[in-house]
């Protein structure tokens, strides 16, 4: 469902959202307290964890809408805003993402473990195109936060237009020149919109693109594979079948970015750990996720090593996505081995305890007949 026009959003939705968000925050707080009272000894307390996060998100969302309104009152004329306008909104986004990531750790056990990132010095002075896989809860927040905190880059995010229903996302990311894509068939040239966003990039920005077009799930993977076979794209279907941990990448957005800005440096982002939590039921069952961090790996792919022709760039993207899939497969295999080893150690510990208990029981069993014999002689 498409959001209303911008005038309706600014004049009606944004002012109404503030009291509504505060009311929802209060409801979430009541739910969190009720969850603790009803089950005070519950170890996982999933209802309370989710409700507390919901309350924090609503409060943060309302506060950011108020801050955006205050900045508009301070800089009402677009001609006088300049870089200061962008910097202030970037600061709001950085603080909001840092807060969300920080509170997710005690509430959900959410933790990002970065194996390797490109050196910030190697990317200085050049805009970036960040190509990230999309899977599991929280990955887009985590990647955007790392771009801000570790890379010093302001993210220009490519996202769905339906997210404009959240006034905070609408206000903040619109002012940071993010690219909101309407639904397919809306009469807009989507690659052209992405190309326009890339064309406006400055040196300290990075356009964040998810070439898969959505979160990886087993059903989406099977459907994508079936569509490729049905369309007679045998080579693409064979490549997709060989890369089961990712969806086939859609190259149109990347090609539009590189056509608009051939000087873009490309960064590839892979992650795993939470990507198999694809339904609300699975996320609920896994909470808290303390024992399974989101392991992340970043690669810098220099512009000099990238082909110039669009057709070769598409093949190049397929190769990079195969590398990404191989990395995910290796990390999943390592985690499975670690879990199997942990189970084996636990089983050995249980057997050792049982053996000790059995050994302690034998002398006691032998002493009982002796005691009976002594009593008979008496």
Residue 152 — left, alpha, or beta (φ > 0 → left; ψ -120 to 50 → alpha)? left
Query: Residue 48 and residue 194: Cα distance in Å, rounded?
Result: 40
- Would you give per-residue pLDDT tens digits along the chain (378 residues)? 789 999 999 999 999 999 999 999 999 999 999 999 988 778 889 999 999 999 999 999 999 999 999 999 999 988 888 899 999 999 999 999 999 999 999 999 999 999 888 876 677 778 999 999 999 999 999 999 999 998 889 999 999 999 999 999 999 999 999 999 997 655 578 999 999 999 999 989 999 999 999 899 999 999 999 999 999 999 999 999 999 999 999 999 999 999 999 999 999 999 999 999 999 999 999 999 988 999 999 999 988 889 999 999 999 999 999 999 999 999 999 888 877 766 666 556 666 666 666 666 666 555 555 555 555 554
- 126-179 pLDDT, tens digit per residue, is 899 999 999 999 999 999 999 999 888 999 999 999 999 999 999 999 999 999
The answer to whether 76 and 70 have CB atoms below 8 angstroms apart is no
Cβ contacts of 341 within 8 Å, gap of 6 or more: none
Instruction: Specify the pLDDT at position 349.
Output: 60
* CB hemisphere CA count around 282 (13 angstroms): 9
Q: Of 356, 186, 335, 323, which is closest to residue 242 (Cα–Cα)?
A: 323
Instruction: Specify the pLDDT at position 80.
Output: 85
- Tokens 């990347």 belong to which residue? 254
Cβ contacts of 226 within 8 Å, gap of 6 or more: none
Query: Residue 6 and residue 8: Cα distance in Å, rounded?
Result: 5
What radius of gyration do the chain's Cα atoms show? Answer: 27
The answer to whether 128 and 266 have CB atoms below 8 angstroms apart is yes
Strands (DSSP E) found in 79-147: 112-116, 128-132
- Residue 155: DSSP 8-state: E
Q: Give the containing element (helix H, strand E) for 270.
A: strand 265-272
Instruction: Specify the pLDDT at position 208.
Output: 97
Q: Give the containing element (helix H, strand E) for 297.
A: strand 294-301
CA angle 33, 39, 42 (to 5 degrees): 110
The model's pTM is: 0.86
């Amino acid at each position: 469902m498409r959001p209303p026009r911008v005038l309706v959003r600014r004049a009606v939705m944004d002012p109404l959202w503030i009291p509504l968000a505060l009311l929802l925050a209060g409801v979430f707080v009541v739910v969190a307290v009720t969850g603790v009272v009803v089950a005070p000894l519950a170890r996982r307390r999933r209802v309370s964890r989710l409700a507390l996060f919901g309350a924090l998100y609503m409060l943060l969302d309302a506060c950011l809408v108020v801050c955006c309104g205050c900045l508009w009152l301070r800089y009402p004329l677009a001609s006088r805003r300049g870089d200061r306008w962008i910097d202030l909104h970037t600061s709001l986004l950085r603080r909001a993402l840092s807060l969300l990531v920080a509170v997710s750790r005690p509430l959900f056990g959410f933790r990002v473990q970065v194996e390797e990132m490109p050196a910030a010095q190697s990317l200085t002075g050049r805009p970036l195109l960040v190509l990230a896989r999309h899977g599991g809860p929280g990955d887009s927040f985590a990647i955007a936060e790392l771009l801000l905190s570790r890379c010093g880059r302001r993210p220009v995010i490519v996202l769905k237009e339906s997210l404009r229903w959240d006034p905070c996302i609408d206000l903040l990311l619109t002012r940071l020149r993010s690219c909101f894509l309407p639904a397919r068939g809306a009469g807009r040239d989507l690659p052209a919109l992405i190309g326009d966003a890339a064309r406006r990039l400055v040196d300290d920005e990075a356009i964040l693109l998810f070439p898969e077009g959505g979160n990886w799930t087993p059903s989406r993977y099977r459907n994508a594979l079936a569509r490729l076979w049905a369309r007679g794209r045998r080579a693409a279907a064979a490549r997709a079948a060989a890369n089961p941990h990712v969806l086939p990448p859609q190259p149109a957005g990347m090609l539009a970015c590189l056509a608009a800005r051939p000087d873009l440096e490309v960064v590839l982002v892979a992650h795993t750990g939470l990507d198999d939590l694809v339904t609300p039921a699975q996320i609920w069952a896994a909470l808290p996720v303390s024992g399974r961090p989101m392991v992340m790996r970043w690669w810098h792919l220099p512009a000099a090593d990238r082909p110039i022709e669009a057709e070769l760039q598409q093949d190049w993207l397929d190769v990079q996505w195969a590398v990404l899939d191989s990395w995910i497969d290796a990390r999943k295999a390592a985690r499975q081995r670690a879990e199997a080893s942990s189970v084996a150690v636990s089983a050995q510990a249980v057997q050792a305890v049982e053996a000790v208990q059995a050994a302690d029981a034998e002398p006691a069993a032998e002493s009982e007949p002796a005691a009976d014999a002594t009593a008979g002689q008496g």
